[in-house]
Amino acid sequence: MMRSLLFAPGDSDKKMQKASAIGADCVILDLEDSVAAARKPVARGMVREFLQSAPNPAVEFYVRVNPLDSGLILDDIAAIVPAAPTGIVLPKANSPQDLLAVAHFIDVLEAEHGLPAGQIKILPVATETAAAVFSLGEYRHNVPRLSGLTWGAEDLGAAVGASANVDANKEWTQPYLLVRSLCLFAAHAASVQAIDTVMADFRDLEYLEVVCNEARRDGFTGKICIHPAQVEVTNKAFSPSPAELEHAHAVIDLFARNPDAGTLQLDGKMVDRPHLTQAERIIALAKSIEARHGAA
């Protein structure tokens, strides 16, 4: 489970190094919008070399390539697949068909470089075009290499000519709340991670905490970050608290002691099967965090 996914521009060795050592579960090395057109070739080489330096085994490394229609993506993928990143972030994906096209490029390159077939994952930014919104439900049909779904509000806003995507209180406006919800359900329908979008206002850590807690409450399991300061808040929000763990253990014990019961009570509150499912989810999350970072 990737709780925090921190972007670092692919043409900055300093930021790639720093991002890898800050406690983020995933670092996304960027070849798209944070790299100027003239810098793309040098960035490809830097990202490849950086990955080959085997930066940090506790971190999953993804590379955000350029979009399918950019004319740049083949060169991006050819440069970085030999360095075997965990996965590729595909921006401006319109539908699972776009992922299939990218998966075919990767198939060929994995074979050419002796990598296990299907090893490199794809994480689409699945709401950055207007058309993409209507294909979110299709990700549930066994899309190869899919590891998660995330959403974006900046490019989508630009695509529809929106003058803003948040209101005066920094809350998402209606169109982006809709897209956020669709992404959440599409990811769960596809049994992959639901990853919340970036909060661009990276100095406001108090509001970040609120936003992360709301995202986790709703069923998101991680969030994109753009600044190192966001990582700690994000990791904490997407980890089970001691009280949650205690409660989850209590629910599981209760059902274990009453294997034939459908509904039980715990501390004067009804618990039934959905509570057991949720408790098991929380224990699984704690185990996955422990596996990544050693016993907490």
Instruction: Decide if residue 201 touches Mg ion (CB under 5 A).
Output: no
Instruction: Decide if residue 15 touches ligand COA (CB under 6 A).
Output: yes
Instruction: Decide if residue 33 touches Mg ion (CB under 5 A).
Output: yes
Query: Toward Mg ion, which CB reaches closer, 7 or 61?
Result: 7
Query: Toward ligand COA, which CB reaches closer, 21 or 261?
Result: 21
Instruction: Decide if residue 227 touches ligand COA (CB under 6 A).
Output: yes
Question: Residues in contact with Mg ion, total (CB under 5 A)?
Answer: 2
Beta bridge partners of 195: 150, 222
Contacts of 200 (CB under 8 A, 6+ apart): 154, 226
Count the helices and strands in the chain (H runs, E runs). Answer: 11, 10
From 108-116, 181-189, 220-228, 241-249, give the range in contact with ligand COA by CB under 6 A: 220-228
Q: Do 154 and 161 contact (CB within 8 A), yes or no?
A: no
Query: Toward ligand COA, which CB reaches closer, 19 or 183?
Result: 19
The single residue among 198, 212, 248, 271 that binds ligand COA, judged by CB under 6 A, is 198
Binding mask 143-182 for ligand COA (x = CB under 6 A): ----------------------------------------
Tokens at 199, concatenated: 């909060």
Maximum pairwise Cα distance, the chain: 66
Q: Do 110 and 63 contact (CB within 8 A), yes or no?
A: no
Of 147-166, which residues contact Mg ion (CB under 5 A)? 155
Instruction: Decide if residue 50 touches ligand COA (CB under 6 A).
Output: no
One-letter amino acid of 207: Y
Place of tokens 């960035």: 43
The single residue among 11, 25, 30, 196 that binds ligand COA, judged by CB under 6 A, is 30
For the CB of residue 22, give the shortest distance to ligand COA in the complex, in Å: 7
Instruction: Decide if residue 40 touches ligand COA (CB under 6 A).
Output: no
Helices (H), 126-201: 130-133, 154-160, 174-189
> Phi and psi dihedrals of 270, rounded to 5?
-70, 135
Instruction: Decide if residue 18 touches ligand COA (CB under 6 A).
Output: yes
Query: Toward ligand COA, which CB reaches closer, 200 or 261?
Result: 200
d(CA 153, CA 168): 16
d(CA 222, CA 199): 13
d(CA 19, CA 63): 13
Binding site for Mg ion (CB under 5 A): 33, 155
By CB under 6 A, name the binding residues for ligand COA.
6-9, 14-15, 18-19, 30, 33-34, 198, 226-228
